[in-house]
A and B are shown apart, each in its own frame.
Chain A
Amino acid sequence: MAGQYVGFIAGSYAAAILVLGAMIVGAVLSYRGAKARLARAEALRDAEKSGR
Chain B
Amino acid sequence: MTDQTSGSLLRLANPAVFNRLADRVIGPFAVLTLLLFAWGLYGAFFVAPPDYQQGETIRIMFIHVPAAWMAMFVYAGMSASALGTLIWRHPMADVALKCAAPLGAGFTLLCLVTGSLWGKPMWGTWWEWDARMTSVLVMFLIYIGVIALQQAIEEPNRAARAVAILTLVGAVNLPIIKFSVDWWSTLHQPASVFRIDGPTIHGSMLGPLFIMGIAFLMLYITLLMLAMRAEVMNRRAERLELLAAEAE
- Which residues does A use to contact B, with CB under 8 Å? 1-2, 4-6, 8-9, 11-13, 15-16, 19-20, 22-24, 26-28, 30-31, 33-35, 37-38, 40-42, 44-45, 48
A16 to B118, CA, bound (A): 13
Shortest beta-carbon distance, A41 to chain B, in Å? 4
User: For A20, what are the chain B residues with a Cβ–Cβ distance below 8 Å?
Assistant: 106, 110, 219
Residues A31 and B227 in contact, CB atoms below 8 Å apart: yes
B247, chain A: closest CB distance, angstroms:
6
Chain B interface, >50% SS class: helix
Q: Does B170 contact A (CB under 8 A)?
A: no
Query: How many chain B residues have a CB neighbour from A under 8 Å?
Result: 36
Q: Mark B216-242, 1 if CB is under 8 A from A, else 0.
A: 000100010011011101101100110
Q: Quick check: B117 and A12 within 8 Å, CB to CB?
A: yes
> Which of B226, B230, B231, B243 meets A45, CB within 8 Å?
B243
Which residues of B are at the interface with A, using a C-beta cutoff of 8 A? 50, 55-57, 59-60, 63-64, 67, 102-103, 106, 109-110, 113-114, 117-118, 120-121, 219, 223, 226-227, 229-231, 233-234, 236-237, 240-241, 243-244, 247
7 tightest A-B CB contacts, nearest first:
A41-B240, A34-B230, A34-B233, A41-B237, A2-B56, A31-B230, A38-B237
Judge whether B240 and A16 touch: CB under 8 Å: no
| B103 neighbours in A (Cβ, 8 Å) | 23
- Summarize A's interface: helix, strand, loop or mixed: helix
B227/A22 in contact, CB under 8 A = no
Contacts of B240 in A (CB 8 A): 38, 41-42, 44-45
B229 touches A31 (CB 8 A): yes
